[in-house]
Amino acid sequence: MELDVGGSNPPGCTKIMKKKISRPPVELPAGFVDRKEKDLVIRDFLIKQIRETMTKYGFEYLETPSFEYSESLGKFLPDKDRPSEGVFSFEDGKNWLSLRYDLTAPLARYSAKNFEEIPKPFKRYQIGTVWRNEKPGPGRFREFLQFDADFIGTNNLLADSELCVLASEILNKCGLEKEDYKIKISNRKLSIKLL
């Protein structure tokens, strides 16, 4: 007995061909951007200038995970009704995990965990991607690269002045002239001493 294959369109193929093929969207979610080689080369150059300067001043390079326990993130702590307000979060068993929205909260967690072992003062810098679950706008992204430099374990105001010198040197090495930027300091201790 011969099987009837239905000419050029066998019955099984006809059903498959009529099924609509769904394709994933090609647009990016709002607040995110693809970075091309030109931008990445410039970014890598800037990072190189930062790293060289930070090493020169004796800062230790630290990398913390992209995710933290949500309760460790401070002011962006999700509420029970809106667990991802301000941060991108998901529930992992009994705990909420969130993508870091800055590099300070992870440093605070790291320092608290390792306070006895780290040198005092602990001079640390970090360059890393951060995420914010906020309304994006012109020049305001939900994912971006952040640079932090901090002192832990000192209240010496010379630490603040060193950070100002560092920032100035980095900006100069990145191609800015001194007239192109201003470094502003805000510290309650300065106003208290003046009174």
Parallel, antiparallel or unpaired: strands 67-69 and 95-99: antiparallel
Asked whether residue 60 is domain-assigned, the answer is yes
pLDDT recorded at residue 78: 47
pLDDT recorded at residue 16: 56
Between residues 2 and 54, the one the model is more confident about: 54
pLDDT at 8 over 70: no
Nearest alpha-carbon partner for 129 in 139, 141, 137: 141
Tell me the pLDDT tens digit for each residue of 130-189: 999 888 889 899 999 999 999 999 989 899 999 999 999 999 999 999 999 999 888 777
Between residues 72 and 53, the one the model is more confident about: 53
The domain spanning residue 149 has which CATH number?
3.30.930.10
pLDDT at 33 over 50: yes
Asked whether residue 115 is domain-assigned, the answer is yes
pLDDT recorded at residue 20: 79
109 and 60 Cβ atoms separated by less than 8 Å: no
Asked whether residue 105 is domain-assigned, the answer is yes
Instruction: Determine whether 130 is exposed, middle or buried from the number of CB atoms within 10 Å of its CB (0-12, 13-18, 19+).
Output: buried
Tell me the pLDDT tens digit for each residue of 73-106: 876 544 455 555 788 988 999 998 999 999 999 9
Instruction: Determine whether 126 is exposed, middle or buried from the number of CB atoms within 10 Å of its CB (0-12, 13-18, 19+).
Output: buried
pLDDT recorded at residue 72: 87
Asked whether residue 166 is domain-assigned, the answer is no
Asked whether residue 173 is domain-assigned, the answer is no
Asked whether residue 175 is domain-assigned, the answer is no
pLDDT recorded at residue 139: 87
Asked whether residue 71 is domain-assigned, the answer is yes
Asked whether residue 174 is domain-assigned, the answer is no
Domain count, the chain: 1
Please give the residue range of the domain that contains residue 151.
Answer: 30-157
